[in-house]
Amino acid sequence: MDSREGNGWAHGLSFGLQSGMAVIPYALLTFYRKLNLTGSETLLLIHLLSFRQVEGKEFPSLEELQAVTGRSASAIAGELQKLIKEGFLRIEAGSDDGLGLHYERYDFSVLYDKLGQYLADQRAAGSAENGKSGQSAGRAAMQPKNGAAAATAGKGIDPAEEETPSLFVVFEREFGRPLSPMEFETIAGWLDQDRYPEELIRLALKESVFAGKVYFRYIDRILLEWSRNRVKNAQDVKAYSQRFRGGS
CATH no. for residue 151?
A: 1.10.10.10
How many structural domains are present in the chain?
2
CA 173/CA 223 separation, integer angstroms: 20
User: CB of 59 within 8 A of CB of 82?
Assistant: no
Instruction: Please state, for a pLDDT cut of 90, what percent of the chain lies above it.
Output: 17
Q: What is the pLDDT of residues 82-111, one digit of tens each?
A: 898 888 998 887 766 666 667 778 888 889
CA–CA separation, 206 and 204 (whole Å) = 5
Residue 233 belongs to some domain of the structure: yes
> In this prediction, what percent of the chain has a pLDDT beyond 70?
71
pLDDT in tens, 31-88: 889 999 999 999 999 999 999 888 888 888 888 999 999 888 888 888 998 898 888 9
Whether 177 and 154 share a structural domain: no
> Please, are residues 51 and 62 in contact by the beta-carbon 8 Å criterion?
no
Question: In a 10 Å sphere around its CB, with 0-12 CB exposed, 13-18 middle and 19+ buried, how is residue 95 labelled?
Answer: exposed
In this structure, are residues 44 and 66 in contact, taking their beta carbons and an 8 Å threshold? no
Q: How far apart are CA 234 and CA 199, in angstroms?
A: 7
What CA–CA distance (Å, rounded) separates 71 from 63? 10
Is residue 5, in this structure, part of any structural domain at all? no
> In terms of pTM, does the model score above 0.85?
no
179 closest CA partner among 189, 194, 191, 169: 169
- Other CB atoms within a 10 A radius of the CB of residue 128 amount to 8
Distance CA 155, CA 21 (A): 32
130 and 241 both lie in a single domain: no
Is 224 domain-assigned? yes
7-11, 52-56, 65-69, 150-154: segment of lowest average pLDDT: 150-154
DSSP-derived 3-state class of residue 116: helix
- Does the pLDDT at position 148 exceed 80? no
Co-location of 172 and 236 in the same domain:
yes
2 pLDDT band, cuts 50/70/90, is low
Helix and strand numbers, DSSP H then E, in the chain: 13, 2
Residue 88, Cβ neighbours under 10 Å: how many? Answer: 25
Per-residue pLDDT band for 5 (boundaries 50, 70, 90) equals low
The secondary structure of residue 131, as a DSSP letter, is S
In a domain, 4, yes or no: no
pLDDT at 145: 44
